[in-house]
Amino acid sequence: MRALGNWAIREWGQLAYPTGLFWASIVGLLKSLTRASLRGKEITKQIYECAVMSLPVIAFSLGIVSLMSVLEFSWHMKVVLKQDALVPGFSLILTIREVAPVVTAMLLASRVGASISAEMGVMKITEQLDQLKLLAVSEVDYLLIPRWIGCIVANVTLTLISIAIAGIVTVFIAARWMGYQPAEFYNSLLLFTTGHDLEGALLKALCFGTLIPFVSASYGLRCAQGSQGVGDAATQAVARSSLLIIISDLLINSIWWMP
Amino acid sequence: MLELKSITKKFANKVVLNSVNLRLQRSQILFVLGRSGVGKSVLLKTIVGLIPQDRGEVWINGEKTDPLNEEKMVTVRQKCGLVFQMPALLDSLTLQENLEFGLEGNQKSGLRKYLDWVQLSEGVLSRYPSEVSFGTQKKVSVVRTLLREPQFILFDEPTTGLDPVSREVTNQMIRNVVKESETGCVVVSHDIQSAIELANSIMLLDEGRVVFEGTPEAFRNSDQGLIRSFCKGMVVLDA
Ligand SMILES: Nc1ncnc2c1ncn2[C@@H]1O[C@H](COP(=O)(O)OP(=O)(O)O)[C@@H](O)[C@H]1O
Ligand SMILES: [Mg+2]
Q: Is residue B106 included in any domain, yes or no?
A: no
Domain-located, residue B123? no
As a three-state string, the secondary structure of B61-87 is CCEECCCCCHHHHHHHHHHEEEECCCC
Ligand lying closest to the C-alpha of residue A125: 1
Using alpha carbons, select from A159, A175, A164, A161 the residue that is nearest to residue A87. A175
Cα(A90)–Cα(B223) distance, rounded to whole angstroms?
88
Give domain status of residue B132, yes or no.
no
pLDDT tier, B76 (very low <50, low <70, confident <90, very high otherwise): very high
Query: What pLDDT does B216 receive?
Result: 93
Q: Which helix (H) or strand (E) holds B206?
A: strand B201-206
Q: Any CB–CB contact under 8 A between A126 and chain B?
A: yes
Binding site membership of B33 for ligand 1 (Cβ less than 6 Å): no
Count of H helices and E strands in chain A?
Answer: 13, 0
Q: Which of A33-37, B35-39, B126-130, B174-178 has the lowest mean pLDDT?
A: A33-37
Q: What is the mean pLDDT of residues B208-233?
A: 88
Q: Whose CA is nearest to atom 24 of ligand 1?
A: B37
Domain assignment present for residue B140? The answer is no
pLDDT for residue B228: 85
pLDDT on residue A27: 82
Which residues on neighbouring strands pair with residue B186, listed in sequence order? B30, B154
Work out the pLDDT band at B87, boundaries 50, 70, 90. very high
pLDDT at A76 over 60: yes
- Would you call A148 helix, strand, or coil by DSSP? helix
Mean pLDDT calculated for residue range B184-202: 93
| Sheet-wide strand order for B209-214 | B80-83, B152-156, B184-188, B29-34, B201-206, B209-214
The number of distinct structural domains making up chain B is: 1
pLDDT band for position A37 (cuts 50, 70, 90): low
pLDDT(A180) > 80 = no
Nearest CA in chain B to A127: B88
**Nearest to B177, CA basis, from B210, B205, B155:** B155
Task: Find the domain containing B156 and state its range.
Answer: 2-88+152-231
Mean pLDDT of B192-204: 93
User: What mean pLDDT, rounded, does chain B reach?
Assistant: 91
Q: What is the mean pLDDT of chain A?
A: 87
Cα–Cα distance measured from residue A115 to residue B204, given in angstroms and rounded to the nearest whole number: 42
- Do B201 and B159 meet the contact criterion of CB atoms below 8 Å apart? no
First to last CA, chain B: 39
Least confident of B30-34, B41-45, B98-102, B114-118: B98-102
Q: In this model, does residue A83 exceed pLDDT 80?
A: no
B39 alpha carbon to ligand 1 midpoint, in Å?
6
Query: What pLDDT is stored for residue B175 in this prediction?
Result: 96
Lowest mean pLDDT of A135-149, A203-217, B20-34, B225-239, name the range: B225-239
Give the residue-averaged pLDDT of A11-23.
Answer: 83
Spatial distance between the Cα atoms of A14 and B77, rounded to a whole number of angstroms: 32
Edge-first strand listing for the sheet containing B63-64:
B14-24, B2-11, B55-60, B63-64
In whole angstroms, give the CA distance from residue B161 to residue B87.
12
Residues A203-241 have pLDDT tens digits of 999 999 999 999 999 999 999 999 999 999 999 999 999
Q: What is the mean pLDDT of residues B155-165?
A: 92
Q: Half-sphere exposure of residue B237, counting CA atoms within 13 Å on the CB side?
A: 12
- Residue B73 belongs to some domain of the structure: yes
What's the CATH number where B26 sits?
3.40.50.300
- Nearest 10 degrees: Cα torsion A56, A57, A59, A60: 110
> What confidence score (pLDDT) does residue A32 get?
73
Cα A196 to its chain centre, rounded Å, is 19
pLDDT value of residue B41: 95
Confidence of residue A245 (pLDDT cuts 50, 70, 90): very high
Facing A133 at nearest CB: one of B50, B86, B101: B50
Percent of chain B whose pLDDT exceeds 90? 78
Cβ-defined contact of B77 to A134 (cutoff 8 Å): yes
Q: What share of chain B is helix, strand, coil (3-state, %, to 5)?
A: 45, 25, 30
Which pLDDT score, from 0 to 100, does residue B184 have? 96
User: Apex CA A39: angle with CA A151 and CA A242, to 5°?
Assistant: 15
Q: What's the average model confidence in pLDDT over B201-209?
A: 93
Compute the residue count for chain A.
259
Distance, in angstroms, between B200 CA and closest chain A CA?
27
Sort out which chain A residues have CB atoms less than 8 A from B88's CB and list them.
126-128, 130-131
Instruction: Quote the pLDDT of residue B238.
Output: 41
Does A26 score more than 50 pLDDT?
Answer: yes
Give the pLDDT mean for B75-82.
94
User: Poorest-confidence range of B131-145, B150-164, B223-237?
Assistant: B223-237
Confidence check: pLDDT of A133 > 50: yes
Question: Using the 8-state DSSP alphabet, how is residue A126 labeled?
Answer: T
CA distance A201 to A94: 11
Give distance in angstroms: CA of B87 to centre of ligand 1: 17
pLDDT at B233: 65
HSE toward the beta carbon, residue A176, CA cutoff 13 A: 9
Chain A residues inside the 8 Å CB shell of B81? 134
Quick check: is B212 in a domain? yes
pLDDT band at B239 (very low <50, low <70, confident <90, very high): very low
3-state secondary structure B84-134: CCCCCCCCCCCHHHHHHCCCCHHHHHHHHHHHHHCCCCHHHHHCCHHHCCH
Least-confidence region, from A48-57, A117-126, A182-191, B147-156: A182-191
- Of residues A73 and B129, more confidently modeled: B129
In a domain, B98, yes or no: no
Contact A38, A145 (CB under 8 A): yes
Angle, CA of A123, A128 and A134, to the nearest 5° = 150
Q: Report the pLDDT value the prediction gives residue A88, as an integer from 0 to 100.
A: 76
**Closest ligand to the CA of B157:** 2
Residues 6+ apart with CB under 8 A from A76: none
Q: Is A110 a residue whose pLDDT tops 80?
A: yes
Instruction: Point out the least confidently predicted range of A50-59, A245-254, B15-24.
Output: A50-59
Please indicate, yes or no, if residue B178 is contained in any of the structural domains. Answer: yes
Q: Which ligand places an atom closest to the C-alpha of B16?
A: 1
Write the CB contacts of A164 (distance below 8 Å, at least 6 apart in sequence).
none
Dihedral sign for Cα atoms in the order A175, A181, A182, A185 = negative
Q: Which atom of ligand 1 is nearest to the CA of B85?
A: 23
- Report ipTM for this prediction: 0.88
Q: Residue A179 pLDDT more than 80?
A: no
Instruction: Count helices and strands (H / E) in chain B.
Output: 9, 10
Assign A34 a pLDDT band (cuts: 50, 70, 90): low
**Span A59-86, average pLDDT:** 83
- B interface with A, Cβ–Cβ below 8 Å: 45, 48, 50, 70, 73-74, 77-78, 81-82, 84, 86, 88-91, 101-102
B204 lines ligand 1 (CB under 6 A): no
Long-range contacts at B213-221 (CB < 8 A, ≥ 24 apart): B219/B195, B220/B196
